[in-house]
Structure 1
Amino acid sequence: MLTKVLLILLGLSIILPSRSEGPHVESENGPSAHDDVYGPRPQAAEEKLLSEETKPTLSGPHSTLGKLPAATHILNSILNNYDHKLRPGIGEKPTVVTVELSVNTLGPISILDMEYTIDITFCQTWYDERLRYNGSFESFVLNGNMVSQLWIPDTFFRNSKRTQEHVITMPNQMVRIHKDGKVLYTIRMTIDAGCLLHMLKFPMDSHSCPLSFSSFSYPESEMIYKWEDFKLEINEKNSWKLFQFDFTGVTNITETVSTPTGDFMVMTLFFNVSRRFGFIAFQNYVPSSVTTMLSWVSFWIKKDSAPARTSLGITSVLTMTTLGTFSRKNFPRVSYITALDFYIAICFVFCFCALMEFAVFNFLTYNRTKPRASPKLRHPDIHARALMPPRASAHQHPDAFVCQIEDSDESDGEEGPSCPAQQSLSPGGIQNPGGCCKWCKKYVCVVPRCEGSIWQQGRLFIHIYRLDNYSRVVFPVTFFFFNVLYWLVCLNL
């Protein structure tokens, strides 16, 4: 009986150790499967890369975490005695910050507010000896939550009006720490920056919109900015919102600005754009030119059609006024006159002169001083003929002046329409246009049929009754030469 009990105990002692060794073997082989999450690397290679100080001494299930404890140990060791309030190299040398910039989206450009919107990825690189470490990791990539634990340059954009940092789904900023102490800080932001637009040549204008940045508190003796071989990435494949402008290039300058708090190094980028002319041409130049030419139609309308000519002239003037107001609707209130304002103003003058031409023509031909007949000759349905003897004067023509006056029942006692005065000019005589200024007598003839004389030779002689004929030629020719001179000056400046 005792022999059987001993045999059973001996068998149990042999079986139990074999079962306990099975799970222990699986745990030894387990890390190779779990290490695939961080990258398939042989266990032997990992042990060679780890330094003696950072090599984990964990055993059992904790050994399946791979390099995570080593990375945590390195990060904790470099941040343990790190003071993020002090810049690197304080009291010894200035900190050199290398800048690199990538433009994601440019525009739109607001003419009324004189500002533009730009979406950039801003990269800054500097060396911080306090962040050096020894280990197998070439660099650490930290998210935006770790930025507050490191020293970051206090760069700000000097001409920004509004700045937005993107935080969806996490803050769009990143820090990369290299083992030699090199730090790369990247952040994405959208900036509404001011851009002083000089609109004198509008709409043939070109602009350079600046983006200026510098340190807020560190003067040039403590912080220096420099470009990474002026490395600027322009992603024009993105949906840029320039609309009325074309992007023509980018330039940069570096200057030192003196302030009461010190001399600061300022870096400025200029985004050069030029305006597209097509939109303004169809919205302003074409309607203005067509309205001006439309006002000339009154020169072909009979002078007796006063309502038609007057309404056409007034409509043209009001249309030009509306176009001038519309061109300034979405425009900054600048105190100077732009090229478009000058063109619309000249078109307005042409339309106004076309209206005044008919007013002058009507005044000189129908509102002249007319000879009046004696009241005794006025009688309904009777045609009277008055004979007016000439005055004895050496300066007037001795011939008779005859005018026929017709009265009708519809006139109600008022003088009816009179016939135009007829007067012939003799050599040495001077015409007498009634109701006209004396200086006009030498150059203007208001008689329907007058013949030139010796005194008119070599002088400008204008026949009032042919004023429409003159206007049909003078207005188009003058407007044509104005356009030629205008576009030559505007396009060559």
Structure 2
Amino acid sequence: MLTKLLLLLLGIAITLPPRIEGPHAELEKGPSTGLDDVYGPEPHAPPEKLPAEEIKPTIDTPRGFGKLLAATQILDGMLNNYDHRLRPGIGGKPTVVTVMLSVNTLGPISVPNMEYSIDITLCQTWYDERLRYNGSFESFVLNGDMVRQLWIPDTFFRNSKKIHNYGVTRLNHMVRIHKDGKVLYTDRMIIDARCSLYMLKFPMDSHSCPLSFSSFSYPENEIIYKWDDFKLDINDGVSWKLLQFDFTGVSNETKTISTVAGDFMVTTLFFNVSRRFGFNIFQSYVPSSVTTIISWISFWIKSDFAQARTSLGITSILTMTTLSSYSQKNFPRVSYMTALDFYIGVCFTFCICALLEFALLSFLIYHYTKSRTSPRVRHPATRACALTPLRARPYAHARARQQQDVVYEIEDSEDDSDEEEGPSCPAQRSLHPGRIQYPGSRCRLCKYMCMARDCKGGLWQQGRLFIHIYRLDNYSRVVFPVTFFFFNVVYWLVCLNF
């Protein structure tokens, strides 16, 4: 009995120390440790056990793998027995390729090189029965790597000079395959194409820059091109680089051309542009007109100032030559005259005529002055007429006309009173037809011009118009501006309406 009691006390002594150490352990750890949930449930475990949530999607992994495996099986099934070297429907009907075009940027147009640049996205659509499939996928969008495994039309641009393909960050190719076998192939490129510019109406000209394409190897009986509903998509008009041109519209045509390799269908797209001639107005037309008008200032300068009038005329001609050279600086070497060349040429002619007018005036005045100041050559019969009585003068004139040997004598102009009183120009001679015309007449140089300052002859004498040389500048002040004005009216009416 005593032994059982000792064993009971020993058991109690063993069990008491853990109950006493528990509170001390809690005090040592302190409340700052935040381990009050040690006795809590296991679901309140630390966040380190959250990877279970990361593994949670693996519950749907079989379904995702199912779609991926299904798509892979469809593509492998399509390409298993597919030969990309053969076109769809070979040996049967021709393949119809529908073309859609989106223009990203048009321009610039290089006039000297007669070419233009265009940034396009070319979309081609056709049907390939070998690519039909059954499944839940409506279409497959594939990158450019799949292009090598499919048949693609060998479309090329016939008037292209250089083509740049976008390669950042990958080549900009895209292929989309539909369930019914419809294939959409999209490619983006920059094309430098030829554009024959007919510059006859420059700078009021309009042009149609073509972009023609066709198949390189498949004739018309194997590939047929046709347009889809064409829409010119422009996201940002600022990206157009036409500079001197305005875009007026687009048109297209399809025709068949015959070559040694066969008959090919060629589709052409025309970009219609018209030139803005505001730049040429201020750079060519206005300077040419102003230079021509300035050359007319010489008509208001006295003929005595020959140096001033000559310098003004020559300067005007040199200025027109410089303007003509500048207008041809960035211009193609065409073999015909443009509207601008014709205008500058007429202005150049006006400047030359203004200088020639002064040269003619100086020439006539010089010879008239020389004839008045130089010694006179008189016929002896003239002096005889002055000394013979009135009744004997007819006989004296008759004897003078019968003489075969002509004898002249030199007299000064100061003693020549009869000559001053005689007719001094054709106009006055026509008023006195009975008077004798002497060999030394001062009007023998100009048949239609009055050489005297006090010419009083009528405007029309015997069907001839007599012009006073001292009034030549007065005539030029009216004739030159009026002629130039009517030329401008006719020029602009013709250029703007035709």
Give TM class, smaller chain. Answer: 0.7 to 0.9
Give the superposition deviation at 1:387. Answer: 8.1
Q: In structure 1, what is the equivalent of residue 285 of structure 2? A: 285
Distance 2:459 2:130 in 1: 106
Answer whether contact 1:423 1:450 (CA < 8 A) is retained: no
Does residue 469 of the first structure (1) align with residue 470 of the second (2)? no
Give the superposition deviation at 1:77. Answer: 1.8
Alignment of 1:153-192 (within 5 A): 153-192=153-192
Report the TM-score, using the length of structure 2 for normalisation.
Answer: 0.77
Answer whether contact 1:141 1:176 (CA < 8 A) is retained: yes
Per-residue CA deviations over 1:51-84 (Å, capped at 9, x if unaligned) read xxxxxxxxxx776645222222221221121111
Alignment of 1:285-434 (within 5 A): 285-368=285-368, 369-370=370-371, 392=381, 403=413, 424-425=422-423, 427-428=432-433, 429=435
Query: Which of 53, 58, 70 is 1:31 aligned to?
Result: 58
User: What is the identity, as a one-letter code, of the residue corresponding to 1:370?
Assistant: S
Give the superposition deviation at 1:246. Answer: 0.5
Give the superposition deviation at 1:31. Answer: 3.4
Give the superposition deviation at 1:422. Answer: 5.4
Does residue 447 of the first structure (1) align with residue 447 of the second (2)? no
Q: In structure 2, what is the equivalent of residue 486 of structure 1? A: 491
Report the TM-score, using the length of structure 1 for normalisation.
Answer: 0.77
Compared with structure 1, are the counterparts of its residues 422 and 118 closer, same or farther at alpha carbon in structure 2 (3 Å cutoff)?
farther
User: What is the identity, as a one-letter code, of the residue corresponding to 1:354?
Assistant: A
Compared with structure 1, are the counterparts of its residues 453 and 155 closer, same or farther at alpha carbon in structure 2 (3 Å cutoff)?
closer
User: What is the identity, as a one-letter code, of the residue corresponding to 2:484?
Assistant: F
Answer whether contact 1:422 1:449 (CA < 8 A) is retained: no
Distance 2:331 2:440 in 1: 51
The answer to which of 213-222 and 317-326 deviates more is: 317-326
* DSSP-derived class of the 2:90 partner: coil
Compared with structure 1, are the counterparts of its residues 331 and 26 closer, same or farther at alpha carbon in structure 2 (3 Å cutoff)?
closer
Distance 1:454 1:210 in 2: 63
Does residue 80 of the first structure (1) align with residue 69 of the second (2)? no
Give the superposition deviation at 1:461. Answer: 1.2
Compared with structure 1, are the counterparts of its residues 319 and 391 closer, same or farther at alpha carbon in structure 2 (3 Å cutoff)?
farther
* DSSP-derived class of the 2:201 partner: coil
Compared with structure 1, are the counterparts of its residues 473 and 158 closer, same or farther at alpha carbon in structure 2 (3 Å cutoff)?
same
Answer whether contact 2:377 2:440 (CA < 8 A) is retained: no
Distance 1:448 1:193 in 2: 69
Distance 2:452 2:234 in 1: 75
Give the superposition deviation at 1:229. Answer: 2.6
* DSSP-derived class of the 1:229 partner: coil
Higher Cα radius of gyration: 2
Give the superposition deviation at 1:485. Answer: 0.9
Alignment of 1:107-126 (within 5 A): 107-126=107-126
Aligned-pair identity in percent equals 68
Answer whether contact 1:250 1:270 (CA < 8 A) is retained: yes
Compared with structure 1, are the counterparts of its residues 325 and 392 closer, same or farther at alpha carbon in structure 2 (3 Å cutoff)?
farther
Structure 2 portions without partners, runs of 5+: 1-48, 383-396, 398-409, 424-428
Answer whether contact 1:220 1:264 (CA < 8 A) is retained: yes
Compared with structure 1, are the counterparts of its residues 423 and 366 closer, same or farther at alpha carbon in structure 2 (3 Å cutoff)?
farther
Structure 1 portions without partners, runs of 5+: 1-21, 33-42, 44-60, 374-385, 395-399, 406-420
